Structure 1
Amino acid sequence: MSAYSPHGSLLGRTPPSAQEMRNRKRISTWLFAICFMLIGMIALGGYTRLTGSGLSIMDWRPITGMIPPLSHAEWERQFELYKTIPQYKILHDGFGLSGFQQIFWAEWTHRFWGRLMGLVLLVPLVWFSITGALDRRLMLRLILFFVLGGLQGAIGWFMVASGFNPDSTAVAPVRLVLHLCCAFALYIAILWTALSVRTPRPAFIPATTAVVRIHRLVWTICCLVGITVIAGGFTAGTHAGFAYNTFPLMDGHLIPRGYARLHPFWLNWFQNIPAVQFDHRLLATGTALLIGLTIVLGLRTANLGKDVHDALMVLGWLVLLQYALGITTLLLVVPVWAGTVHQTCAALVLTAAIVTLHRLRGVGRP
């Protein structure tokens, strides 16, 4: 069986063999499945955060943690551990074992899903390597993804541990954002690899002035979406979404009072609730407007081709949905369902932006 590489013969002028085509389809389908699971992981992460479930499991057991409590005595032990932290005493005092089991299962599912993703990555990786379907470069990249996935689990525990402090009822916002950013970074890397395996030879797009402008705009969109996601992480971590539940004004003002009350000034971006929410609103609005402008200009640029035009339209519809979800989440004071869907849709917007950028990678490349 011939090894497949997204950087190998398929990028050259030699037509791929039938075996290479089969390898390409199998590997890319596998990687797309992992991307789908990552989106599910992001959704589960949002749900556990919004339901206050993240601190319900007090010990980190990377292997044996896959097994949930199997006896009443073990459930009682886990519950007694949970009773020792401030979150129980302040938020859930007296809610009983059945209430604890509800939040426990949410967090256990989140962690189990992460372990399952590791197996879904590792087992086919070993098989494709043994059968010679991967070249060395792609194999090393996928091994790196597996290591980074394990590191993401460790970062998750680093985040959870911050909620065990005597003066805390939730995880530290900075650690929450770190965990979220690492998840999105790993998702982008795997998605880009999957796209490159599926279509290793980019379609040539003439590098006209209009095309180059669209390419730069899409790059900017990808960066803005990422920054907006980070701002959303701080909005979630500081619980800023539970304040100023009106739109478009905040307590009757376009720019909320107290925006710059912390010193030094940059602390307002991460710790000051009025500033954190306003920044997220501003970034989301700016991103949506830039996507709208890019779509208008892109549809007028015939050289881009149908694939790029289609990707831009999907991006436009998704950002409209995401913007509406953001407003809905705010006005309803962050119900669990809306917050979870809003976080999940952020991953879909980022996906559409990355797909659009990937389809533009052939600009000026014959």
Structure 2
Amino acid sequence: MQTSTYNKAIVYWLLSGALLILAMVIVGGITRLTGSGLSIVEWNLISGTLPPLNQEAWITAFEQYKQFPEYQKLNTHLTLEGFQKIFWWEYLHRLLGRLVGLVFILPFLYFLITKQLTSGLFRRLLFILAQGVIGWLMVKSGLVDNPHVSHFRLAAHLSLALALIGVILWTVADLTSGKVLKLKSHKGTKLKRLAILVLVAVLLQIILGAFVAGLKAGFSYNSYPLMDGEFFPAHLQGYLTWQTTIENGVVMQFAHRWIAILVLLAVTLLWYRTRPAELPYTVRTLARSLLLTCLIQVALGIATLLLAVPVSLGVLHQVVAVVLFAFAVLLVHRLRLSVA
């Protein structure tokens, strides 16, 4: 889809969509950390756009909430005022979801009707519509008998958001890259492979982070680098099976801790190998940005753990993860174009 001329309106539209998805990730993180994610027990696409507008409507919404496991098992102490506080974050999250839908669908129809979309771009944009379905399945998983959002569906939800951002950034890079100098070398091929490996590792680490968040594993073992004085908690050794490992928050936190260091080492190696002056300036700049972001992310992760996941740091850690992923995607794209 690479082209030397491009429609700026389409590029701005796609970037605005990516920013809105990032906003969804931010508000979603706040919603999760404040325990607000299951406060709205019905999802009416049209009528649900408006929040409760009077005392009677608030009481009705609260009574509906009381029928579900989160209230019955965790929040029986909650008052109407407390319910209103958790309601607003989830309401904003869903309102943003509707806005994202409008921002994508309406301009998409306009560009389609005016024949400004290529077949490749058309196929990529259809992919976005799956997000709402996954979002509902994620919420629904906590409305049965377990008063928590499934960490698997939380990871799927976040992964799809990342996929959408990645597709958008890749498409924008395709549209705006223009003519790129090709560098033919065996070393360049290895560099591309390393960049792809880094991207996969970053994505794996983010998914592990979603598991940690979904299992609320960040609220225990708030020490670093050891876990309460042990490399790996001794009481778990010998009691884990393959089936229970992925459901165990302590194991997920352990994996998230040390894979972060492996990702940092891989990013550092990638940066080191992109230093030669014959590589395009954009490649070297993206590699430096990737390394700086990775260093910030590791520091944020440690601080978030040591302080037992304050909302501000938890959300910032999630945002920087998206930025790290974005730089990794753009670097793979640029190397794909620059190295023949």
TM-score (norm 2): 0.94
How far apart in 1 are the matches of 2:185 and 2:304?
A: 42
Cα separation, 2, equivalents of 1:154 and 1:267: 28
Whether contact under 8 Å (2:128, 2:164) holds in the other structure is: no
Identity of aligned residues (%): 39
Instruction: Provide structure 1 residue ranges, at least 5 long, that are not aligned to the other structure.
Output: 1-5, 11-15
Which residue of the partner structure matches residue 282 of structure 2?
A: 307
Give the corresponding residue for 1:55: 38
Q: What is the one-letter code of the residue matched to 2:284? A: H
1:240 matched to which residue of 2?
217
Aligned to 2:263: 287
CA 1:164–1:364 in 2, change beyond 3 Å: closer, same or farther? closer
Q: Secondary structure at the match of 1:342?
A: helix
CA–CA separation in structure 1 for the residues paired with 2:317 and 2:154: 17
Residue 278 of structure 1 aligns to which amino acid in structure 2? F
1:15-51 alpha-carbon deviations (Å, 9 max, x no partner): x5xxx54x2x221121111111111111111111111
Q: Is the 8 A contact 2:39 2:86 kept in 1?
A: yes
1:178 aligns with 2:156: yes
> Contact between 2:124 and 2:167, CA under 8 Å: does it hold in 1?
no
Alignment of 1:90-239 (within 5 A): 90-142=73-125, 144-148=126-130, 152-166=131-145, 168-201=146-179, 203-239=180-216
2:295 corresponds to which of 310, 314, 320? 320
- Are 2:248 and 1:272 equivalent residues in the alignment? yes
CA–CA separation in structure 2 for the residues paired with 1:161 and 1:134: 35
Q: For the residues of structure 1 that align with 2:172 and 2:45, how far apart are their CA atoms?
A: 27
- Report how far residue 359 of structure 1 moved: 1.0
* Residues 262 and 304 (structure 1), Cα distance of their counterparts in 2 relative to 1, 3 Å cut: farther
Aligned length: 340
Deviation at 1:209, TM superposition (A): 3.2
CA–CA distance in structure 1, aligned partners of residues 118 and 252 of structure 2: 46
Tell me the C-alpha RMSD between the 2 structures.
1.8
CA distance in 2, matches of 1:158, 1:99: 26
* Preserved contact between residue 256 and residue 275 of structure 1 (Cα < 8 Å): no
Q: Does 1:32 align with 2:15?
A: yes
Cα distance change, pair 275–153 in 1 and its aligned pair in 2 (3 A): same
**Residue 241 of structure 1 aligns to a residue in which SS?**
helix
CA distance in 2, matches of 1:146, 1:230: 20
Deviation of 1:123 (Å): 1.3
Tell me how far apart the structure 2 counterparts of residues 297 and 266 of structure 1 sit (CA, whole Å).
Answer: 39
Contact between 2:49 and 2:95, CA under 8 Å: does it hold in 1?
A: yes
What is the match of residue 87 of structure 1? 70
Q: Which runs of 5+ in 2 are unaligned?
A: none
How far the C-alpha of 1:67 sits from its partner, in A, is 1.6
Question: Is this contact kept in 1: 2:141–2:150, CA < 8 A?
Answer: yes
Shift of 1:165: 3.0
The equivalent of 1:13 in structure 2 is none
For the residue of structure 1 that corresponds to 2:274, the secondary structure is helix
| Aligned counterparts of 2:152 and 2:237: Cα–Cα separation in 1 | 20
Other structure's SS at 1:163 match: coil
Among 290, 313, 318, the residue aligned to 1:343: 318
Partner Cα distance (1:292, 1:259) in 2:
33
- In 2, the alpha carbon distance for the partners of 1:233 and 1:146 equals 21
Q: Please, which moves more after superposition, 99-108 or 85-94?
A: 85-94
Is the 8 Å Cα contact of residues 195 and 328 (structure 2) preserved in structure 1?
Answer: yes
Change (3 A) 1:260 1:185: farther
In structure 2, the partner of 1:41 is 24
Change in 2 beyond 3 A, CA 1:223/1:26: same
Change (3 A) 1:58 1:261: farther
Matched-pair contact (CA < 8 Å) for 1:28–1:195:
no
Residue 356 of structure 1 is aligned with which of 313, 331, 338? 331
Number of the residue aligned with 2:52: 69
Q: CA–CA distance in 1 between the matches of 2:239 and 2:64?
A: 37
SS of alignment partner, residue 94 of structure 2: helix
CA 313–273 in structure 1, closer or farther in 2 if over 3 Å, else same: same
- Deviation of 1:132 after TM superposition, in Å, equals 2.5
2:226 equivalent in structure 1 = 249
Q: CA deviation at 1:242?
A: 0.9
TM score, norm. by length of structure 1: 0.88
Q: Post-superposition shift, 1:109?
A: 0.6
Contact 1:256 1:278 in 2 (8 A): no
Letter of the structure 2 residue corresponding to residue 204 of structure 1: L
Deviation of 1:292 (Å)? 1.1
Q: 2 CA distance for matches of 1:175 and 1:261?
A: 28
